[in-house]
């Protein structure tokens, strides 16, 4: 069995994308695509426009990576990332979209594992996402 067919038989990677701005959510989904790397399964996006929806989705489980918009209002992704790391047992890795490159230091406070600044560079986004997805899959027990 080829690596492509093995990956296609696996459960999809469930990726939560949080932003109050639909355009930002669309840019993230378009940038990552359906399958960003051959060794990863297909990506299934779960879109959230409110912080309450994010918390509910993560409480329900099954999210592999969370991508949070640091510029979302009224609840920004950095504060939400910190809350999730404090409150969700085995919280999935988090990528925060910052307003500018200089805000990357705030990700240390938020405990996000990766940061990509606005405007979103699809190459940087995919690189950061793939690293988080691979680390999440390596940490999960084989099924």
pLDDT, greater one: 106 or 68: 68
pLDDT digits (tens, 9 = 90+) for 24-33: 999 999 999 9
Domains of the chain: 3-138 (3.40.50.2300)
Q: What is the reported pLDDT for 8? A: 45
Does residue 40 carry a pLDDT above 80? Answer: yes
Peptide bond before residue 119 is cis, with ω within 30 degrees of 0 = yes
Q: What is the reported pLDDT for 7? A: 45
pLDDT digits (tens, 9 = 90+) for 86-126: 999 999 999 999 988 877 777 788 999 999 999 999 999 99
In three-state secondary structure terms, 46 is strand
Q: What is the reported pLDDT for 107? A: 78
In whole angstroms, give the CA distance from residue 75 to residue 90.
Answer: 22
pTM: 0.90
Q: Please report which residue ranges of the chain form alpha helices under DSSP H.
A: 3-9, 22-32, 51-60, 77-87, 104-110, 122-139
* CB distance 140 to 128 below 8 Å: no
Q: What is the reported pLDDT for 143? A: 55
pLDDT, greater one: 129 or 5: 129
Least confident of 8-12, 57-61, 67-71: 8-12
């Amino acid at each position: 069995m080829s690596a492509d067919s093995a990956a296609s038989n696996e459960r999809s990677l469930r990726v939560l994308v949080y932003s109050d701005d639909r355009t930002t959510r669309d840019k993230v989904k378009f940038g990552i695509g359906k399958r960003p790397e051959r060794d990863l399964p297909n990506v299934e996006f779960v879109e959230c426009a409110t912080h309450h929806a994010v918390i509910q989705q993560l409480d329900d489980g099954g999210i592999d990576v969370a991508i949070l918009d640091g510029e979302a209002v009224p609840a920004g992704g950095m504060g939400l990332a910190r809350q999730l790391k404090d409150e969700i047992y085995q919280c999935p890795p988090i990528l925060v979209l910052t307003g500018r490159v200089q805000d990357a230091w705030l990700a240390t406070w938020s405990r996000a594992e990766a940061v990509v600044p606005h405007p979103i560079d699809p190459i940087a986004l995919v690189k950061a996402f793939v690293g988080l997805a691979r680390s999440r899959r390596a940490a999960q027990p084989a099924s």
